[in-house]
Amino acid sequence: MTGPTEVRCMLMRGGTSKGAYFLADDLPTEQTVRDELLLRIMGSPDPRQIDGLGGGHPLTSKVAVVSPSAGPEADVDYLFLQVAVDKAEVSDRQNCGNLLAGIGPFAVERGLVRAGTDETSVRIRMVNSGDFATATFPTPDGRADYGGDTEISGVPGSAAAVVIEFPPRKGELLPTGNVRDTVAGIEVTCVDNGMPTVLMPAGALAVTGQEDPTDLEGNRELTARLHDIRLAAGRLMGLGDVTGTTVPKLTLLSAPRHGGAVTTRTFIPTRVHTSIGVLGAASVAAGLRIEGSVAHGIAALPAEGDRLRIEHPSGFTEIESSIEHAPDGGLRARRTAVVRTARKIFDGTVFPVPPTGGRS
């Protein structure tokens, strides 16, 4: 079985990423068949993904699979799949908070959720991790409206706001149990507020943390060290062997330059994010709030309020974050919310590259 020769698909920008959104019922149920089909749809493996929907970068080679929720806690289930660009690999090992911004509107477009007359809130279960989120967005006259005046860094122009709120997570913010760990010779803080993330002072790696992403990607000594750090941190965080995965994320921290709380450069895992992922920003923000983390002496936290501005290569992401002590004495997130935008780019039929052996 090689999967269908044409598939109903919606291409959407979600936050600072772009991906193909599918109903689960429109894809093969068998994972290997589904993944092989998605590789052909996105045009992988090929550095340019010239024969598919992908844009030649991890941020534009993403897939969202949506279905009615299997449980009463959510309206829809959202499975995120990262399709590799230059190799035949599809991973479900992480969430994507950027594509998450498009899940609510997509659910309304496909009739999975009835829209309100002014705005709609959609409860979403993120299948990859089991976490939940609620997305609220405008639906005047019962239709998803993508136009608005909300701007986010990394996206030209403006669009309608999608407010995403995450309920308090049950898991421990510090998966290693420590505020600081020494990994591959440097002190780091391992934090998980929806995305396993390793926070590192940029100066400890002999860079400023203000460099252009391409310069960091071209620093072979740095990327080799980061590879070692990621593998060691993955084991410490209980993720096992992360050689073939994109988690944990690695985020360099340096002092803010434009009035924010901190400057970031995030590796995914070897390419540098041109902005920052929503869930990655949530983990960074929580890490900044933890007393004694490696952000101490680097971050400039506001005197009051929960809102933090996380600076990144193309601007900033504003996120509301607070933490608290759990009954067992550990730390947990109390509130996490972020404003994103999303836009429907096309809705129609995608024709995957035929399987090896011929063209149609």
d(CA 240, CA 123): 31
- Report CA torsion sign: 314, 320, 324, 330: negative
> Which pLDDT tens digit goes with each residue over 156-192?
999 999 999 998 877 789 999 999 999 999 999 999 9
Sign of CA dihedral 144, 145, 146, 148: negative
pLDDT beyond 80 at 41:
yes
68-88: pLDDT as tens digits = 998 999 999 999 999 999 999
- What pLDDT is attached to residue 360? 42
Beta-carbon-side half-sphere exposure of residue 197 (alpha carbons within 13 Å):
31
For residue 241, the one-letter residue type is D
* Burial zone of 238 (CB within 10 Å; 0-12 exposed, 13-18 middle, 19+ buried): exposed
Domain 7-167+342-350: which topology? Diaminopimelate Epimerase; Chain A, domain 1 (3.10.310)
Q: Please, what CATH class does the domain formed by 181-325 belong to?
A: alpha beta
Percent of the chain, pLDDT > 90? 85
pLDDT at 1: 58
Task: From 35, 36, 105, 39, select the one nearest 66 (Cα to Cα).
Answer: 105
Question: Angle CA(247)–CA(315)–CA(85) in degrees, nearest 5?
Answer: 40
For residue 358, pLDDT over 60 is answered with no
Segments of the chain assigned to CATH 3.10.310.10:
7-167+342-350, 181-325
Give the tokens for residue 2. 């090689």
Q: Give the rounded distance of the alpha carbon of 333 from its chain centre.
A: 18
Which tens digit of pLDDT belongs to each residue from 94-125? 899 999 999 999 999 999 999 999 999 999 99
For residue 359, pLDDT over 70 is answered with: no
Average pLDDT over residues 339-360: 86
Q: What is the pLDDT of residues 279-295, one digit of tens each?
A: 999 999 999 999 999 99
Residues 6+ apart with CB under 8 A from 231: 241, 242, 243
Per-residue pLDDT, 270: 85
